[in-house]
Every structure is written in structure tokens, then in C-alpha cells.
Amino acid sequence: MRILTRTGSIWSRAVTTALLTLTLTSTHLAEACERQCQLNVSHAFADKYQLLTSQHFSTLSTKIEQSLFHGVPTTAYSPTEATNAIQHLQEAVIKAQRAWDVSLFRTVFDTIFVDEPKFKGDCNEPHRVDQPILGVNWTMADCHAMDYICGNPPSICHFMPMIKTRIERKLAVQLEIKVGGSSGLIEGVSENGDGSADEADVYANFLGPALSKVLMTHPKLEAYQATMHGNLNQILEIVGNQIVVEAAFLAPGAGPVKNEKWRSEWDLEIKLLLLSFP
């Protein structure tokens, strides 16, 4: 009898412990910005930054149209050949942009959820906000109160300005390097000039091969290979410089200047999305 009671008590303790663990685990799970929340929120940020950076690819496309054939005598090509060549290069710009958009999403995701300080972990040490009941959203008051970095949606909401700056700095460096081959935002790199547009991803993997294909199919243009290559290089430098100028407010020590292209209503849009995740 005694043994039975003992066994029963051990059992009930084990069950209680198991239940407690379960409860704690599920509370923890419910509180965090979980996989779907992480993906949705990253997409929300990425959509805006894709919109803002798409302008540079548009400029690239326009400038290719304007000056790819600069300095090439019109006897070397027909108007149709020029149109086709430009179109071929513009398609390469679109491919480069698609690749950029994919890497941009990855950067946004990693900046918030992978790189330190990452928005993960316990939000109850110390306790700041109460988990809303199922079907009820977090509030702007929770966003205000959750004043340290941890894994729940209100924490991400609270630190949105800091998150945006971190993302923007990384994206600016990456875009400068992809288009121009170097970044003025990394001290010392642009000064030394060790990056060139030729080595940049956009040229090496997209525009360069596209130009080679055009030259291969139009033997008369072969003689102007260096000219056209130079034109493309010039275009990439112009767009690269434009990115540098635009990102100047992110340079170390540049002071608290805001990103003028980011629209303030986007903050609210993303915050409401965040707060809707249980």
C-alpha cells in the first residue's frame, strides 16, 4: 500500500513536471515570432527595399538604352540590331535584379533573426508584456513596453528604427559591391580602388556575358568590343556612384539622417503585421 502510494506520488509528480514543461514550452512558442512570422515580417521589409532598390536597376536599363552604342559608327549595325542588342542587355538587367531581390530577402531575414543581436530568445527576463489571448493582437502599448531585444513581435516592433538602419547599411554595401565592385561604406575599400565594375557581380555574371553574346552574333560589332565594354563600365560606375551618394547617410559617423525614400506609413504597416502574430 505504502509502495503504491509512493509510486503514485512519483507518478503524479512526473506528470505534473511533464505538464509544466509542456505549458512552459507552449507559452514560449506562442510568444516568439515563429517561422511564419519571421518569413512574413522579412517579406514585408524586403518588399519595401526591393521597391526602393529597383530604381537603380531601372536607371541601369535606361542608361544602357541611351549609351550602349555611344562611339560606335552606325555603319556597324542596323537599327534592328541595336534594338535587339539593347533588349538582350536589358533582359540581363532584369535577371540581375531578380538575383538581387532574392539575396535582399536573405539579408533582411538574417539581419533580424540570425545576426547578433538577433530577435530571438526569452522575453520574460524581465517581464514587460502579457501574451494576448488567442485571436487578439498585440498592441502598440506592448510595442512601446517591450524595450529589450528578444524573440517576441513587440520587441521587433519596438526596435524598428534600429532594425531598418542595420538592414539599410548591409543592403547599401551589398548593392554597391554588386553593381560598382566596391563600397564607399566600408572604410578603406573605395579609397584603394581595389574594386572595379568589371569584377562586380552585375557585370561579371549578367551584363558581361550578355554583351559577349551580342558581339558573337554580330561580327561587325567585334571591332567595337572595347568601346561597348567601356560604355557598360561607365554606366555601371554612374549607377554605382548614385548608390554611394544615396547611402551616404548610412556611412559611419554620418549622423542621424533619415532615409528619405522610406515612407513613414510603411512603419505602421509592418508594425501592424508584426503585432498580428500571436
| Three cell numbers, residue 62 | 535606361
Instruction: Select 16 or 276, whichever has its Cβ closest to ligand NAG.
Output: 276
272 binds ligand NAG (CB under 6 A): yes
Round to whole Å and give the CA distance between 89 and 209: 9
131 vs 242 by CB, closer to ligand NAG:
131
Q: Which is nearer to ligand NAG, 187 or 269 (CB)?
A: 269
Task: Tell the smallest beta-carbon distance from residue 273 to ligand NAG (Å).
Answer: 6
Shortest distance, CB of residue 106 to ligand NAG, whole angstroms? 16
**Taking CB under 6 A as the criterion, which residues in 128-157 touch ligand NAG?**
136-137
Alpha carbon 146 to chain centroid distance?
A: 25
Candidates 9-17, 75-83, 173-181, 268-276: pick the segment binding ligand NAG (CB under 6 A): 268-276
Q: Which of residues 66-105 bind ligand NAG (CB under 6 A)?
A: none
Name the nearest CA neighbour of 250 among 180, 185, 163.
Answer: 185
Q: Alpha-carbon distance 180 to 195, whole Å? A: 7
Which range in 123-131, 178-186, 256-264, 269-277 contacts ligand NAG by CB under 6 A? 269-277
124 bridge partner residues: 127
State the number of binding residues for ligand NAG (CB under 6 A). 6
Nearest CB to ligand NAG, comparing residues 41 and 236: 41
| Distance in Å, CB of 159 to ligand NAG, minimum | 19
Angle of helix 208-217 relative to helix 225-246, nearest 10 degrees, comes to 160
Q: For the CB of residue 189, give the shortest distance to ligand NAG in the complex, in Å.
A: 37
User: Going residue by residue from 1 to 40, which x/- string records binding to ligand NAG, judged by CB under 6 A?
Assistant: ---------------------------------------x
Binding mask 152-191 for ligand NAG (x = CB under 6 A): ----------------------------------------
Site for ligand NAG (CB under 6 A): which residue of 86, 160, 251, 273?
273
Q: Of 40 and 59, which has the nearer Cβ to ligand NAG?
A: 40
C-beta of residue 73 within 8 angstroms of C-beta of residue 81: no
Q: Min. distance of Cβ 253 from ligand NAG in angstroms?
A: 37
| Residue whose Cβ sits closest to ligand NAG | 276
User: For the residues of 154-220, what is the DSSP string, one character each?
Assistant: HHHHHTHHHHHHHHHHHHHHHHHHHHHSS-TTSTTHHHHT---TTTSHIIIIIIHHHHHHHHHH-GG
Cα torsion through 150, 154, 159, 165, rounded to 10:
100
CB 153 within 8 A of CB 31: no
Sign of CA dihedral 191, 194, 168, 97: positive
Task: Give the angle 98-214-89 at the CA atoms, nearest 5°.
Answer: 25
The residues that touch ligand NAG, with contacts defined as CB under 6 A, are 40, 136-137, 272-273, 276
